[in-house]
Amino acid sequence: MAGIFRKQRDRRQDAVAVRFEAVGLRYGSGPEIFTDIDFSLPSGSFHFLTGASGAGKSSLLSLLYLAQRPTRGSITLFGQEVTSVHRQELPAVRRRIGVVFQDFRLLDHLSALDNVALPLRVAGVSEEEIRRHVPELLSWVGLREQMNARPPTLSGGQKQRIAIARAVISRPDLLLADEPTGNVDDRIATRLLHLFIELNKLGTTVLIATHSEGLIQRFRFPRLHLDGGGLAIVDPVTEEVRALVGAESTPIGREPRP
């Protein structure tokens, strides 16, 4: 199945893909969404991102794909500090990140196939390669029959799968996905998780925001858990909190270690 992803020259990977140091975020004059968040994601790791509705999952992802800057603190992606970097340098960092947005953000005037091909065309990949890889990936996510359909004629779950195919097609160094299985049934959700796992085996660092207890229990990846402005890293097997940072964060399942 790894064959559905394009082969590409391996990029130099830093040992740590993502590092947050004392990151705070507030919108306008509202309350702080995050207070002094510290964590890092080793390159090639796979984490779920959890937390109650409104805890800040989408906000954390938007900091990671550089849609907004933190109010304070430092964020390093692939060894580069990005909070103070010049705007002109951001696109080069962004090109290494694949994002599945909660609202899909597809281009309605393009077919499913052309939506998925877009990142490859931007990267200058040949049409021959695009014809070889895009239909195969769309078939794999169950959209063989819908390749030429435009998003407005498709269901929410079908649009979601186009968005996922578009995010993974160029084998990004970091994949961020916001509720990527929110609109599909269990069978397809499991298939999509396996797609992310295959991508991860090829070296992509993966972070998936989800509310799905079913997926969390079945796949047992470590969790970044947001609560009360803080962030905890939760061990998948014991549910034990390995690190607890930030304000008012409460442990999940057990008391934190002394």
Ligand X SMILES: Nc1ncnc2c1ncn2[C@@H]1O[C@H](COP(=O)(O)OP(=O)(O)OP(=O)(O)O)[C@@H](O)[C@H]1O
| Residues lying near ligand X in the complex (CB under 6 A) | 27, 30, 33, 51, 53-59
97-100 sheet: strands from edge to edge? 97-100, 174-178, 205-209, 46-51, 223-227, 230-234, 241-245
For residue 243, the SS3 value is: strand
Closer to ligand X by Cβ: residue 173 or 179? 179
Closer to ligand X by Cβ: residue 3 or 30? 30
Task: Report the nearest approach of ligand X to the CB of residue 209 (Å).
Answer: 7
Task: Report the nearest approach of ligand X to the CB of residue 27 (Å).
Answer: 3
Task: Report the nearest approach of ligand X to the CB of residue 12 (Å).
Answer: 32
Closer to ligand X by Cβ: residue 13 or 71? 71
Rounded Cα distance between 226 and 180, Å, is 18
The conformation of residue 105, written as its DSSP 8-state character, comes to -
- Residue that the structure tokens 């091909």 belong to: 117
Residue 6 structure tokens: 């394009």
Task: Report the nearest approach of ligand X to the CB of residue 13 (Å).
Answer: 28
Closer to ligand X by Cβ: residue 55 or 137? 55
Contact between 111 and 150 under an 8 Å Cβ cutoff? The reply is yes
